[in-house]
């Protein structure tokens, strides 16, 4: 892929070194997630949606009848972390009476991005059979990419399930994968220019009837601000929200708060 932009694509996708104490966040996420799982142990189950080791999803059930299904897809550049890092992010929607599902997936380089997209599609398909009502999707970083792929015009979700999806929020999502061909991450991801374009939600249309928001921290790296704006423009009338003072690692924190602006937007109908 020829690039004449003058942008340092290696640095553009780096987050931890540009965030104070950035390297401490993964352990913090693990600790918060484990504490939350212990707190709601009786309302949590792990269910396989395939035969691979990581093809499992955690299901967090509310205390009362469920109002719908929220699926949260984790990030990590498709090659890091697991569903076990993010359990605490279910707290806000769970307190509001929604069933929350967090699927795992096989990471690169063992898997490809198209393969991961297929796994998330299968996980949502199975989860949809467990819960009645609307389906809302959220994802962070690479998970934002995967969430928006589910409502792209070439989504592999079965039509009856895709039609239940009313709301999608991509939090600091990656919607144009073409620059990653020029990044050393591609040694793990194995993207060709053709695959990168095919897997870029911003280069596709969006399914009709889905309300989409590109949510990003106002203090994020320029490339993540660009990625959010690109999705909002490509999928107009998608919303674009820049959360004040939030960076790439703390922009997800408001998912823990039932009355936060982020949770209100994620669970809103219509």
Would you place residue 269 in the very low, low, confident or very high pLDDT band (cuts 50, 70, 90)?
A: confident
Flag whether pLDDT at 211 surpasses 60. Answer: yes
Flag whether pLDDT at 243 surpasses 80. Answer: yes
Give, to the nearest 10 degrees, the angle between helix 113-128 and helix 142-149: 60
- Give the count of domains, the chain: 1
Q: Quick one: which of 155, 169, 87 has its CA closest to 121?
A: 155
Residue ranges of alpha helices (H) inside the chain are 9-12, 25-39, 91-95, 113-128, 142-149, 159-162, 186-189, 193-198, 222-234, 261-267
- With respect to residue 1, please indicate whether it lies within any of the assigned structural domains: no
Q: Which two tokens stand for residue 69?
A: 């299904």
Distance CA 231, CA 203 (A): 9
Distance CA 44, CA 87 (A): 10
Cβ atoms < 10 Å from Cβ of 88: 21
pLDDT of 4 = 62
Residues 195-218: b if buried by 16+ CB within 10 A, e if exposed: bbbbbbbbbbebbeebbbbbbbbe
- With respect to residue 4, please indicate whether it lies within any of the assigned structural domains: no
Flag whether pLDDT at 18 surpasses 90. Answer: yes
CATH of residue 154's domain is 3.40.50.1820
Cβ atoms < 10 Å from Cβ of 266: 25
- Residues of the chain with pLDDT > 90, as a percent, come to 96
Going by C-beta distance under 8 Å and a sequence separation of 6 or more, which residues neighbour residue 253? 246
Please tell me the total number of residues recorded for the chain in this structure.
270
Flag whether pLDDT at 1 surpasses 60. Answer: no
Q: Which two tokens stand for residue 252?
A: 């997800």
- With respect to residue 2, please indicate whether it lies within any of the assigned structural domains: no
What's CA 212's distance to the chain center, in Å?
13
- With respect to residue 25, please indicate whether it lies within any of the assigned structural domains: yes
Residue with tokens 């949260």: 72
- For residue 180, give its domain range: 9-267
Q: What is the pTM of this model?
A: 0.97
Distance CA 95, CA 254 (A): 13
Flag whether pLDDT at 38 surpasses 90. Answer: yes
Q: For 102-137, write each residue's pLDDT tens digit.
A: 999 999 999 999 999 999 999 999 999 999 999 999
Distance CA 266, CA 72 (A): 11
Count Cβ atoms within 10 A of the Cβ of residue 53 and give its class: 0-12 exposed, 13-18 middle, 19 or more buried.
exposed
pLDDT of 6 = 76
Distance CA 157, CA 118 (A): 9
Distance CA 262, CA 171 (A): 10
Distance CA 97, CA 120 (A): 23
| Inter-CA distances, 44 with 64, 87, 187, Å | 14, 10, 36
- With respect to residue 101, please indicate whether it lies within any of the assigned structural domains: yes
- With respect to residue 144, please indicate whether it lies within any of the assigned structural domains: yes
């Amino acid at each position: 892929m020829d690039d004449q932009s003058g942008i340092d694509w290696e640095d553009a996708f780096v987050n931890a070194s540009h965030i104070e104490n950035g390297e401490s966040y993964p352990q913090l996420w693990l600790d918060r997630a484990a504490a939350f799982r212990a707190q709601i142990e009786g309302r949590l189950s792990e269910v396989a949606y395939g035969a691979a080791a990581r093809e499992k999803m955690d299901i967090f059930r509310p205390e009362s009848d469920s109002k719908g299904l929220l699926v949260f897809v984790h990030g990590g550049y498709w090659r890091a972390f697991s569903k076990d890092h993010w359990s605490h992010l279910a707290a806000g929607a769970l307190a509001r009476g929604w069933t929350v599902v967090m699927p795992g997936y096989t990471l690169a380089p063992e898997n490809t991005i198209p393969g991961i997209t297929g796994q998330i599609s299968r996980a949502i398909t199975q989860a949809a059979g467990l819960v009645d009502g609307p389906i809302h999707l959220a994802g962070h970083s690479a998970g934002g990419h995967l969430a928006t792929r589910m409502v792209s015009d070439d989504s592999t979700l079965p039509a009856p399930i895709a039609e239940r999806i009313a709301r999608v929020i991509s939090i600091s999502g990656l919607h144009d994968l073409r620059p990653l061909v020029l990044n050393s991450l591609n040694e793990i991801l194995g993207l060709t220019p053709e695959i990168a374009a095919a897997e870029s939600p911003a280069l596709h249309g969006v399914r009709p009837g889905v309300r989409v928001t590109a949510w990003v921290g106002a203090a994020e790296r320029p490339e993540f601000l660009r990625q959010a704006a690109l999705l909002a423009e490509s999928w107009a009338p998608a919303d674009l929200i820049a959360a004040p003072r939030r960076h790439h690692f703390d922009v997800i924190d408001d998912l823990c708060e039932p009355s936060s602006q982020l949770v209100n937007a994620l669970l809103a109908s219509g």
